[in-house]
Chains A and B, each alone.
Chain A
Amino acid sequence: MIERLRMLGRAGLHILEVLGRSAIFVMHSLCGVPNFRKGGQLLMEQLFAVGVLSLPIIVVSGLFIGMVLSLQGYTILVKFAAEQSVGQMLSLSLVRELGPVVTALLFAGRAGSSLTAEIGLMKATEQLTSMEMLGVDPLRYVIAPRLLAGFICMPILMIIFNVVGIWGGYIVAVDWLDIYEGSFWANMQSATSFDEDVMNGIIKSIVFAFVISWIAVFQGYDAEPTSEGIGRATTKTVVYASLAVLGLDFILTAIMFGDF
């Protein structure tokens, strides 16, 4: 019994230690005066790697999710003769929940894992250490641009996901299922509030972006410098980031839309 308690205590202390270390890590990465002349180019490179290269998966997923939502929504709503509300259902589902959450999960899988593997490999091949010995802080040179790129890209990717999703839903609802175009857009417009729905979705996305980028770069930097270590770190990024996104989504939804 005592041994079990001891193990529990040790595990708790370990989690706290990792959390503390990762918080100091992020603080060191983001604090200090940024060098816009040199940092700007690094940030642009990461915006391309993290954001632009994630576009195909975001666009394709958004399109199909919008199409499926419209199709499923129609088959249910038609039973209640409420099929004209497909637009409303589509926009609220996408803007409030699916947009931020699915984009975050895809981002964790595509960009998060790639960030972890890249940083982990740099560590394993002593590139980070050699940078330190050249007097260049890898937290500022390698980590900070990747963190910032994650913050900036994800909300934009989420907006693109939503737009493409609505377009996909429109194709299915209006072009294939013959929903009246006027009521599709009018219901969507009247039911979706910019301040409450769109902005809350964007806030969720910013929170998810911070958490995913933080987990991804920290796991890479903290990875054991072996091939197994990098593999484990990459897996941890996807698992931890996905769980964090789903857990935080519930908390944020409760705060934003719950009647407490």
Chain B
Amino acid sequence: MADKIDNIIEIRNLCFRRGERVIFDNADFDIPRGKVTAIMGPSGCGKTTLLRLIGGQIKPDSGTILFDGQDLLSLTRKELYELRRTKMGMLFQSGALFTNLSVFENVAFPLREHTNLPEAMIRDIVLIKLQAVGLRGARDLMPNELSGGMNRRAALARTIAMDPEMIMYDEPFAGQDPIGMGVLTKLIRLLNQSLGLTNIVVSHDIHETASITDKIYVIAQGKVVGQGAPSRLMEDESELVQQFMKGLPDGPIAFHYPAQDYYDDMMGSVDS
């Protein structure tokens, strides 16, 4: 039997445009199995787009995306849904809980849809998942009764309900208070260590992300500008990587959106 591939995802020559704007220009990514990989970069650089490409929600203009050796782009609609059902999960920035269902029913949703388990077993699994995220006591609440952090934790419980092999997190720390951030950081690391899950974390919170990741990709201007262990990236010589990792306002990535000269703009006449 052949050895299992080390990388759960291999992306080669990825090109993706949105209108005239180039999001990815011949980018390559390798996501190692059983590790936490972070995708980082300035706002609008295509981090969430990359997750959507891996999830098969959008298709690239060219390039290949292999998941477990399987070409995602050649899968039929049915095969893609089967893959999502069994192997991948995604935690959305907003949580994206179903607003008409309680926390318990949200977590039970994939189990009810994909299995024929008896109700008692579904209840046990849901309570185990909710206990893992600390929300067993909130099972009867509706999503609009939860805080932002609780919302994301409930969504995480739903994501792990079917025990996927890989979880993608879209900005899990955005808008979180320090406690919520700490809880989520701990949960991601715990899921990785105890269940051996592959995690892809999209974020621009450098310190929180660096503390839990094994590998970081820094992307900017459609390309991978840096990759490696967090400690290695801190020492990277690339100006782009340094600007991002140290949060410097001046550098290759301009603070200002492209515009005409400031003086000319201010002195120009107002169209009436």
Contacts and interface: CB of A to CB of B under 8 A. Distances in A.
Interface of A: 28, 38, 125-127, 129-137, 141
Contacts of B89: 133-134
B110 A127 contact: no
B81 A135 contact: yes
A131 B98 CA distance: 9
A134 B85 contact: yes
A128 B254 CA distance: 35
Contacts of A127: 96-99
B104 to A, nearest CB: 16
B113 A133 contact: no
Contacts of A38: 112-113
A125 B96 contact: yes
B94 A125 contact: yes
Given A126-B94, A135-B82, 10 more contacts: A38-B112, A127-B97, A132-B84, A133-B55, A133-B84, A134-B84, A134-B85, A134-B89, A135-B85, A135-B113
B29 interface: no
Contact of B90 (A125, A130, A137): A130
Interface residues of B, number: 27
12 contacts: A38-B112, A125-B94, A125-B99, A127-B97, A130-B92, A130-B96, A130-B155, A133-B84, A133-B90, A135-B86, A135-B162, A136-B113
Contacts of B114: 135-136
Interface in B69-108: 77, 81-82, 84-86, 88-90, 92-94, 96-99
Contacts of B112: 38
B57 interface: yes
A127 B99 CA distance: 8
B35 interface: no
Nearest to A131: B98
A246 B110 CA distance: 43
A136 B111 CA distance: 11
Contacts of B88: 133
A131 B162 CA distance: 13
B129 interface: no
Contacts of B109: 134, 136
A137 B81 contact: yes
A130 B77 CA distance: 16
A49 to B, nearest CB: 11
Interface string B213-229: 00000000000000000
A127 B109 CA distance: 13
Contacts of B152: none
Contacts of A131: 98
B158 interface: yes
Contact of A134 (B77, B82, B110): B110
A28 B76 CA distance: 13
